[in-house]
Every structure is written in structure tokens, then in C-alpha cells.
Chains A and B, each alone.
Chain A
Amino acid sequence: MSEVLIQMEGIDKQFPGVQALKDCRFELLSGEVHALMGENGAGKSTLMKVLTGVYQRDAGMMTFHGDELIVPNAKAAQDKGIAIIHQELNLAPDLTVAQNIFIGREPKSLGIFLKEKELHRKVKRLFERLHLDLDPNELVANLPVAKQQLVEIAKALSYDSEVLIMDEPTAALSDTEIDELFVIIRQLRSSGVGIVYISHRMDELKRITDRVTVMRDGCYIGTVATKDVTNDQIISMMVGREIYDTSKPARHTGAAEPVLEVSGLNRKGVLKDVSFRLHKGEILGFAGLIGAGRTEVARAIFGADMFDSGEITVKGRKLKPRQPHDAVKAGIGYLSEDRKRFGCIVDMDVKMNVAAASMGRFTNPVGWVRRKRIAEAADGIVKMLKVKTPHIDQEVKFLSGGNQQKIVIGKWLTRDCDILIFDEPTRGIDVGAKSEIYKLLNELAASGKSIIMISSELPEVLRMSHRVVVMCEGRITGELSQEEATQERIMHLATLRV
């Protein structure tokens, strides 16, 4: 009943210094959700980009419905009915939601004149079909990452394609939106669409996928039916070794002195009377739904956004951050949730990105850059976080998504801050590296650093935090100790609206 939609055979792809794909295979049936798994840098995104004409393969065969598939560019794939949601957000921020969704397919008359009304009708119909509550006229620049992701999803779905590829669609979403997305995926599956699903969230595998193909180091490892294997078996196929599970962090006494005190932080329409304390050596989890205002708290403390009133005290001294520089001087580091826009400088190489937040340490008094020291530091980070890069002179834009994220973490580790704010630190990071990062956070806390961890993944918050602050609609709705914190309690507080 289900037919073979896509067949890829013997695919090779070489980048300068990197063999990204070696003799890779992949098969997609109609009406299946097929997971593509592998560590960061395994080649998942590259394989899908070869399929959709973003990259051209060096060798191999591709067929679609049994006929040879020729895709010289992205448009060719689209026209054939193969749509992709890329891992990195690909929207034009200065255009509206509606304009972004139908870019390249604008309804027009006489070949050049835009028919705005018809565009709006189409978008409205699409949103109704998907039960999406987005304002089509809002500029994409004004949307938070999660909503941008929803726009991307809507855009891909609007093509009515036979093949839909989703490269980490849920990385920026919280549970409610993921549930909604899965409803849509199931609908598509039953109507015969073939779906490729890339994700690092293991719990999603059993919920939504039918088969799993695993890749490692650019090679094909195997394809299995999801119901026949355990998650651990898949993980060991991915990494070729066992992953140890991090223990919960040692209990925090809570008696240590507070290093960061925030009281009565207000920003009109965004934050309401936010107060909390962060102690030395503590990991403070921030939970909440998307749009709860967690990132906004972080950005206010870091001086990236202005706030209307409130007080921030760092180690007993008042901090009035007017720009991130002030916060960094006070010993605060902030790892942004939006790595492409605020996290790393993608056109610069690995070593300069690692050094970017600590140039003072890497220059001598006259301003001469100490290249050797930078190289040493970068080498250290690459080893510690197992960053997959041919060398530290590689430009960051050529790294896989997860490895870019590691570079941003490395940048703040290099800076050696006393207070670290990690906003969605493990977004897009594979299971192996995730547990490395958890271990690292535990070690940092044990050595006396204080950490705020914002995360939409509840299991992660529960596992890592000494204490959990829950936010809803810009307010703090509750605080839970390690013992009190459960999934249910957090969800209750996260939806506690006034």
C-alpha cells in the first residue's frame, strides 16, 4: 500500500576539509514518519540538503517515485513537491508573516502586480486548517523564536508536498506546541505524505516515528522499525558507545550567600514585579511556557534590553546594566537562545568566536592579539565539548547546528564568569553532548559558579536544577525546591494566569 517515495543510494558529499557524507543511504515511504538520527555533525542536515537541491552531491543516485531525481536548486525540489523546514530559521524578518509564508508564490496579476487580498485569503485559510493563531500582518522580526518556528512550519505545510522534511522543528517549541505539531504530522501521515523527522529529543521518537535511520560520521549505520528497538539501542547505534546518565547535582544547602538579587523588575507589557535570588554554587532553573518572559528577564539582567523599574544587585553591589558590556564586567555571561542572531558570529572562525567574549584576556596592553593563547583556549574548548570541526580556523557557519551551539557555550566558558545565564543551552545538541554539558554544569556549580538555566525541556529542568522558578505571563508564579519540583507542579504554575 505504501510506495517508495524517495530512494537515496551511495551519496557522497565533500566540503573543504570535511567528508560530510560517505556512501549514504536513505529510503522514504509514503505515509510514514521516518526519523533521521545521529550525533551533531553526523551529516543529517547535509543529507537532506542534498535531497532538496541546496547542495549538489559528489556521487550517488537519487530517485523519486522510481524516477531519477534531478534537483539543481531549492526551487526544483519545491516544484516537485519536496518541502523542507531547515534547522536554521530562514525567514525575512522585515516581511510580514503572510509575506514570508508565500514568498516566491505570491498571487499576482499581469505577471508583476501583487494581489494582497488574495494572499491574505490564502494565509487565513491555511491558518484555519492548521489551527494556528498568528497575526498574518505581524512583522516576523517582532516574533519570538518559537513563533518564528511556527511560521516556518506553516510555510512548509502550505506547499501541500508529498515529502516534508523537518530538521529539528521542535527544538524551539514547548510541549503544548509540540503536541499540536504532532497532531498535524499524524494527519499528514494518514493522507500519505512521507515525512522525514530530525530531532535530538529521544522521547519524541516513540511518540511519532515509524522507522529510524541512524547516521554516524557521515555514514549510514542502519534503518530499524521504531517499535522494534529501545531508545538506548538507538543511542548506541548513534554514538557507538554507551552514554552514562548524569546523576542529579549534589544538594545545594541554600545557605550560601546570594550572588545575584533581582527585586521588583518591571517592564511594561513584558515583566511584572520579578524578584528572585541566585546563590553561590547554585543552578537555578527557569521553567515556563514560551512567551512567559524568561528570556526577557535574562536580557534585562544582561543589559540587552531596558527595563522600567527594579533593582539588580550583584555580590552586594547595585548593577544598572545599560549595555551587555556592563553586565559582563560585573561577571555575568549570557548564552542567548537565538544563536544565529545573538550567539555566534557565523562569518568568523571557531577560535575567534571562542575568544570573542574575553578579548581582554587575549590581548596585551598595547592591544596586540595573542594568537597562540587564543588557539590554546579554542583547542581546549573543542576537546572539552567534542566540537566537530576540521580545525579551529573553520568558519562557524560551516559547522553543524549543534556544534555551533557548543561554540557559544565555549565562548562563555572561556570568559570565566561568576554568573552564567544559559538560555536553552542544549537546543539542538545530541544526547551524548547533552550529558557532557550537564556534567559540565554540575562541575561549574560545584566550583562555586552560579547558573541560571532557562529551558523548555522539563526533564532537563528537573534533572539539573537545585531550585526551580516558574514564570507565567511575565510574572514569577512560584518557586520550587529540588524535592518539591515535579512535572505536574511546574505545569500547574506555568499556566497560573491572573
Chain B
Amino acid sequence: MTIQNDTGAVQTGGKRAVPIIKPGAMQQVLAFASLVILVLVFSFSSPNFFQFTNIVGILLSTAVIGVLALGSTFVIITGGIDLSVGTVMTLSAIMTGVFITYWDLPVPLGIVGGIMTGAVCGLLSGTIISKMKIPPFIATLAMMMIAKGLALVISGAKPIYFKEETGYSKLALDSAIGKLIPGFDIPNGVLIFFGAAIIGGIILSKTIVGRYNFALGSNEEATRLSGINVNYWKIVIYTITGTFTGLAGVLMASRLNSAHPSLGSGYELEAIAAVVLGGTSLSGGKGTIVGTVIGALIMSVLTNGLRILSVPQEWQTVVVGIVIVLAVYADILRRRKK
């Protein structure tokens, strides 16, 4: 089946020059460029922006939404969606509070418990979606309400505070690295976020889970006919999302040193926005972890920068909305040109 002789016209002629940037990576490069530009613009507009403390603040506020977005990346690449990540994060935070404050469990156990709460919710969503064939939008909408209700019931609709002696807030706010390298006081929360991103990146690009993740989002029927247990892998992927969500809940609780039953809904949309800004396609099959990290950073740089420029809160939201439209449109234009 030698068909090299008639490839000429459709392909751009015989051997193609190897592009400097891999075609799939172009979107990340663009996203990264926009991030740099944003940082530059804000740095020139206000001397307060490019300060160590402010940058650390930005990174810290990215951590929670960023971890949430990391998780969402997985389901979105399957062509699905998880609307429950916001309230599942809340529930995970509440459960962490229950374990540590009410049950007096050691902190590490409480953390594991919080993460597990998220994982179990993801496992449930995945099972409902793959076994009961309920579309992801609806299944996770239901999960979103279930988690929201449970968080309120369990906490008695009141915040759970962590006792000072547990030192729980150190998890996110202390700086382990600052002790090693004096002056380099990057809070643990930020490091956890980057650590989670590295793990997520490895799962997505180096493991079988990632491969099937893309295959599912690209053509589910073909994947099934290739002899792959599609249901099983879907459940695995939703569980991974849930695990990241649980971690986000643990981080948020630590950052506030308390778990608030009403804080968290709405975060799912910000997470999705970060994922989309990072070039992941909502129709599935395409996306990267690096993109999501950049997307999440763009979101928080934008809000932080606008706040420093004393743009009122309401207008910040409007600007973020416009930026999302522009970013995604730029991507579409670029694709169409090809």
C-alpha cells in the first residue's frame, strides 16, 4: 500500500518541514504569551503589582481554583463536564473539618479523609454516568445539589473552625521551602498546586489513563469497539476529577482555617473557564494540563490586577467574561486559518 506518490496535493507536499512549535502546543504558547502580556501591562500600570508579596498572593489565590481546574480538565477532555466540583469541594472541606475538629482525628488523616470525600463523589458521578447512562451534565448537576445539601446538613449550616493547636492552616499558608531557602517564602498551598499539576500532567500524557481519556473524548464508539472497557475508564476519570476536587477542598479549608458550607458553589464555572482559557476543547479530545495552569493563572492575574487598579468588583467580572470570549475566539480563528 505504497501511496506516497499521490500524497502531494492534499498534504503540503512530500516531507513537511518540522514546525518549531508542535501544532498542538501553539495554543499553550499563545495562552502563555497573553499571561506575560497581562503581567507586563499590570506591572507598568501600577508599581504595587509586581511585588513579591502580591505575586505570592496571586499564586495562593490560584491554588484552590487551579487544583479544581486541573481535575476538571480530565472530564472535559472526555467530552463530559463536571458541574459538581464546586460544591463537592465544599463538602470535602466540611468533611475535613468534621474529621479534624469534631472527631479530633490527626491532621494527616483528616486531609486524606477530605480528599477521599471528593474521590467518592467523583466515583459516584462516574458510575451514574457510565452505568445508568445519564448524561454528564445532568448527573453532575444532581451531584452538585446533593453535595451542596449534604454540606449544609452535616455542618448544621454553620462554618467549622479549626482549632489553633492543630496547626491545620499551616498546610496551605506556611512555607516549608522558605525555611530551606530563607527569603523565598512561597506558601505550601502554591507548591501543592504545582505538585498536583505535575502529577496531573504525568497522568494525562504518560499513562494509559490519559491515553484512554483522549480516545474517549475523541470517539467513544471507536474506543469501545477497540475492545476498551469504556465504562470502567470513565469511572476512573471522574474519580480522578473528584480526587483533585477533594484536594481543592482541603486546601481551601486550610487557607481560611475554617470550612464554610456556603462557599464553593459557582467555583465550577470558574474552573471550567480556566480550562477553556487553557485551550481545552469542550467537545473533548483536546487539552493539556499546562494550558489549564496558565488558564487559571490568567484568571487570577486578571482579577488581582484589576483590583489593584481599583476597578470595582462588578466590573472585574465583566472584564473576565469578555476575556474568555476573546481568548476562545482567538483560538477558533487560528484553527480556521489552517
Contacts and interface: CB of A to CB of B under 8 A. Distances in A.
B224 A94 contact: no
A498 to B, nearest CB: 9
A293 B10 contact: yes
Interface in A73-103: 73-75, 78-79, 86, 89-95, 99, 103
A75 B229 CA distance: 8
Interface in B1-33: 1-13
A454 to B, nearest CB: 14
B217 interface: yes
Nearest to A155: B226
Interface stretch (A176-184, A244-252, A482-490): A176-184
A296 interface: yes
B226 A74 contact: yes
Interface in A198-214: none
B73 to A, nearest CB: 15
A296 to B, nearest CB: 7
Interface in B208-261: 208-211, 214-215, 217-219, 221-229
A181 B1 contact: yes
B285 interface: yes
Contacts of B5: 176, 495, 497
A54 to B, nearest CB: 7
A189 to B, nearest CB: 17
Most interface-central of B12, B227, B285 (chain A CB within 10 A): B227
B208 A103 contact: no
A78 B206 contact: no
Contacts of A92: 214-215, 218-219, 222-223, 285
B267 to A, nearest CB: 28
Most interface-central of B10, B219, B221, B336 (chain A CB within 10 A): B10
B6 A289 contact: yes
A392 interface: no
A295 B297 CA distance: 43
Interface string B283-296: 01110000000000
B1 A177 contact: yes
Counting chain B residues whose Cβ lies within 8 A of the other chain, the interface size class is 35 or more
A111 B236 CA distance: 15
Interface residues of A, number: 53
Contact of A131 (B2, B10, B215, B218): B2
Contacts of A228: none
Most interface-central of A114, A150, A180 (chain B CB within 10 A): A114
Given A92-B285, A114-B208, A473-B9, A150 B215 contact: no
B99 to A, nearest CB: 29
B223 A103 contact: yes
B207 interface: yes
Contact of A497 (B8, B207, B224, B227): B8
Given A103-B215, A112-B208, A73 B13 contact: no
Interface string A353-390: 00000000000000000000000000000000000000
Given A147-B3, A180-B1, A290-B3, A94 B229 contact: no
A108 B208 contact: yes
Contacts of B219: 90-93
A89 B222 CA distance: 8
Contacts of A113: 206-208
Interface in A222-276: 268-271
Nearest to B287: A94
Contacts of B2: 131-133, 180
A130 B218 contact: no
Nearest to A293: B9
A268 B210 CA distance: 35
A401 to B, nearest CB: 14
Contact of A473 (B1, B8, B206): B8
Given A92-B219, A103-B223, A113-B206, A296 B211 contact: no
B122 to A, nearest CB: 18
B217 to A, nearest CB: 7
A269 to B, nearest CB: 4
Most interface-central of B1, B218, B228 (chain A CB within 10 A): B1
Nearest to A90: B222
B209 A291 contact: no
A24 interface: no
Contacts of A292: 6, 9
A290 to B, nearest CB: 6
A16 interface: no
Nearest to B217: A94
A17 interface: no
A184 B1 contact: yes
Contact of B225 (A54, A472, A473, A474): A54
A459 interface: no
B4 A95 contact: no
A159 to B, nearest CB: 10
B10 A133 contact: no
B12 A269 contact: yes
A291 B227 contact: no
A448 interface: no
A271 B224 CA distance: 38
B214 A94 contact: yes
A473 B211 CA distance: 35
A106 B11 CA distance: 28
Contact of B228 (A75, A289, A296, A306): A75
A144 interface: yes
Contacts of B1: 130-133, 150, 153, 177, 180-181, 184
A474 B11 CA distance: 10
A86 B225 contact: yes
Most interface-central of B12, B223, B229 (chain A CB within 10 A): B223
Sorted nearest first, the 5 A-B pairs with minimum C-beta distance are A75-B227, A94-B285, A92-B218, A474-B9, A180-B1
Given A75-B229, A92-B285, A180-B2, 19 more contacts: A75-B227, A86-B225, A95-B215, A103-B228, A104-B228, A114-B208, A114-B211, A132-B2, A133-B1, A146-B3, A150-B1, A150-B3, A269-B9, A289-B6, A292-B9, A296-B10, A472-B9, A473-B8, A474-B10
Interface of B: 1-13, 206-211, 214-215, 217-219, 221-229, 284-286, 336
22 contacts: A74-B225, A91-B219, A92-B215, A92-B219, A93-B285, A95-B218, A99-B215, A103-B226, A104-B228, A133-B1, A133-B4, A144-B10, A176-B6, A177-B3, A184-B1, A269-B11, A269-B12, A290-B6, A291-B6, A291-B10, A296-B9, A495-B5
